[in-house]
Amino acid sequence: MTRLVILDRDGVVNQDSEDFIKSPEEFVPLPGSLEAIARLNAAGYSVAVASNQSGIARGLFSEATLETMHQKLHDLLEAVGGHIDGIFYCPHGPDDHCDCRKPEPGLLRQIGEHFGVDLAGVPVVGDSLRDLQSAMAVGAMPILVLTGKGEYTHRQLSNAPSLSATPVYADLAQAVDVLLAGALSGDAHEDHH
């Protein structure tokens, strides 16, 4: 069976920006994130990225430019012995009423179908409330990292009872450490607050 981990992109794998990440130059990995993905690969996990990229709908960059950003990610990962098995993104804007823009579950469902995996209990690592909400919507396991918008999101969790048991880690590297130590599983995550 495919063991899968789903990652948000901006704020989890790479630095985020209020002005969107619009070019390969602006795509800067967060410290330790690429190595963390390589550790997941080495442990036999498939890694997918689920990313809202409304900058396309907003006309800030093209899908071709997004491809060059993702090529940079693939190249940087290759250099540390890692890889991403699939990058899935929503190109729509907030007013397009699609089902793939997180917090809607469509993007995660696409990933589940692509890998032939039941998303129940699959770790979904994100830095925003919409990442966690989309994970909950498909029965996956939301995990919050404090990079990107994570600190702000962490403060919001007290107003979101359904997400109050979400495990919180400093960054992707720490989340992966805990995951690989076997301390995170769908039935035991309440203990790791």
CA 81, CA 79: separation in Å to the nearest integer?
6
Nearest one of 79, 5, 1 to 41, comparing CA atoms = 5
What is the Cα 15 distance to its own chain's centre? 13
Query: What are the residues whose beta carbons fall under 8 Å from the beta carbon of 75, sequence distance 6 or more?
Result: none
Q: Is 171 a catalytic residue?
A: no
Note if 10 is an active site residue.
Answer: yes
* Closest-CA residue to 166 (of 117, 133, 119): 133
Using CA atoms, how far residue 48 sits from 7, 107, 152, in Å, is: 6, 11, 24
With 0-12 / 13-18 / 19 or more C-beta atoms within 10 angstroms meaning exposed / middle / buried, residue 86 is middle
**CA gap 19, 10 in Å, rounded:** 12
List the one residue out of 99, 65, 87, 63 whose CA is nearest residue 12: 87
| Catalytic (active-site) positions | 8, 10
